Amino acid sequence: MSNIGYDGHMELHEPDLSDVPVTAVLAALADDVRLRIVRALAEDGERVCGTFELGVTKATRSHHFKVLREAGLTRTRVAGTSRHIRLRRDELDRRYPGLLDAVLTDRADA
Amino acid sequence: MSNIGYDGHMELHEPDLSDVPVTAVLAALADDVRLRIVRALAEDGERVCGTFELGVTKATRSHHFKVLREAGLTRTRVAGTSRHIRLRRDELDRRYPGLLDAVLTDRADA
DNA sequence: ACCGATGTTCGACATTCGTCGAACAAGCTC
DNA sequence: GAGCTTGTTCGACGAATGTCGAACATCGGT
């Protein structure tokens, strides 16, 4: 994949929001597990990957984090062996005003 | 499917928005063809099914209209042999304030 | 009553997606 | 360095999804 940086670290693919089609953002949000992640991030600010209770294996969790990251929804900070994830709130609100609010302040999924 | 009404007409399945999970709404919007339909409806108000230029066969078009309808995004009025579709704007804005605006006023998909 | 126009439904098909276990990589601690 | 922890990657699998052509259903008009 040649995503290897000058120091041998795997570069995290975090696209510009202008490079992400809306449909990709919407698709990323259109999954229950990922929506729960996004909501937790909106509440708690930054969180470590492992601190989510999602009812799926860590392989699946990792997959969802990747989808969110590549859809431009999250940013990842590497610290030791763990990864800290946070919402790209400001950027998202600027590019899609109202989107996150609408999705996050949903009063009932049923 | 026993969606047959008292007069033999096929009842159109148009759910209450409270019965539709957000993820279903987002999934319905997370498709290029459907997004184009929704945008056209937002601009033109009500339109007849056949008047969309989408680059897919009518079977596929029909499929997408069904997805939109069952996700609570559109309402369908039957008139003779054609169907008139319109966005459920007000309801959607009430339940997901900002969602449609955010998706519709996107300045560039790229 | 026929015919044409408008949509829907029915398989069929290829692609994508969510999920898993297992193997791997990298960092921390003793 | 050995071992534990955290997280990613790699197939594999089944389920869901977008697409199509063909058949069907309805309605309007001639």
What mean pLDDT value characterizes chain A?
Answer: 88
Partnered with residue A76 across adjacent β-strands are: A85
> Strand, coil or helix: what is B101?
helix
- Rounded Cα distance between A85 and A49, Å, is 7
Contacts of A95 (CB under 8 A, 6+ apart): A17, A18
Looking at residue B46, its pLDDT comes to 95
Of A109, A105, A108, the closest CA to residue A39 belongs to: A105
Question: Does residue B110 have a pLDDT over 90?
Answer: no
CB contact under 8 A, A27 and B23: no
What is the spatial distance, in angstroms and rounded to an integer, between the CA atom of B7 and the C1' atom of C27? 70
pTM of the model: 0.89
Provide residues of B within 8 Å CB-CB of chain A.
18-19, 21-24, 26-27, 29-32, 35, 96-99, 101-103, 105-106, 108-110
Provide residues of A within 8 Å CB-CB of chain B.
18-19, 21-24, 26-27, 29-32, 35, 96-99, 101-103, 105-106, 108-110
pLDDT digits (tens, 9 = 90+) for A67-98: 999 999 999 999 999 999 999 999 999 999 99
Question: Does residue A42 have a pLDDT over 50?
Answer: yes
Instruction: State which fold the A18-104 domain adopts.
Output: Arc Repressor Mutant, subunit A (1.10.10)
Looking at residue A1, its pLDDT comes to 36
Element (H, E) at B103: helix B99-104
Looking at residue B91, its pLDDT comes to 96
- Rounded Cα distance between B85 and B38, Å, is 10
